Amino acid sequence: MSKILYPSLRLGYVVAPEQLIDPLVKIRSTIDQHSSAIDQATLARFITEGFFLSHVKRMRKLYAERREFFIKEFNKLLSDRFVLQIPEAGLNFVAWLRCDADFARVARVRAKIGIKPSPLSFYCIQAKLKPAFVFGFAAWTPAQIRESLLRLASALK
């Protein structure tokens, strides 16, 4: 739930067959004794009264719009420097550098202008990949996405 609603919630839930409920309750009481009863009751009500489903539907629509906007703007402004890998799902894109030698320059520029795509190598144990950056889009409005991509494109010219 913390991934879908907000990180500080720190709650989740399990849908399990009836015969597993008692063993799972025992396991939970052993490994997790600090979840707020009020938070749990509130989340249960949020789910059972349909607010969670409504929230998920609203966020899917919002993220789909931001995703399409990001793809369009990124390709319009930065396709000369990057190849954008477009996954079927998710809230991030991997942008592969067309020229490996540009990696250090892009890393410097992104820090200088305050845009923070992470190098793909941050997510790897052994980084033996072509240079790439990971861009997120879900937390930003279309105006913020456009402004950030414009600043990056301008700084790389």
Check residue 127 and give its pLDDT: 64
What does each of the 157 residues of the chain score in pLDDT, given as a tens digit?
Answer: 767 787 778 787 888 999 999 999 888 888 876 778 898 899 899 999 999 999 999 999 999 999 999 999 999 999 999 999 999 999 999 999 998 878 888 988 888 888 888 889 888 887 678 899 999 999 999 999 999 999 999 999 8
CA separation for the pair 94, 133 (Å, rounded): 6
Check residue 83 and give its pLDDT: 96
**Domains of the chain (ranges plus CATH)?**
10-49 (no CATH), 64-156 (3.90.1150.10)
Question: Helix crossing, 142-156 with 51-78: angle to 10°?
Answer: 20
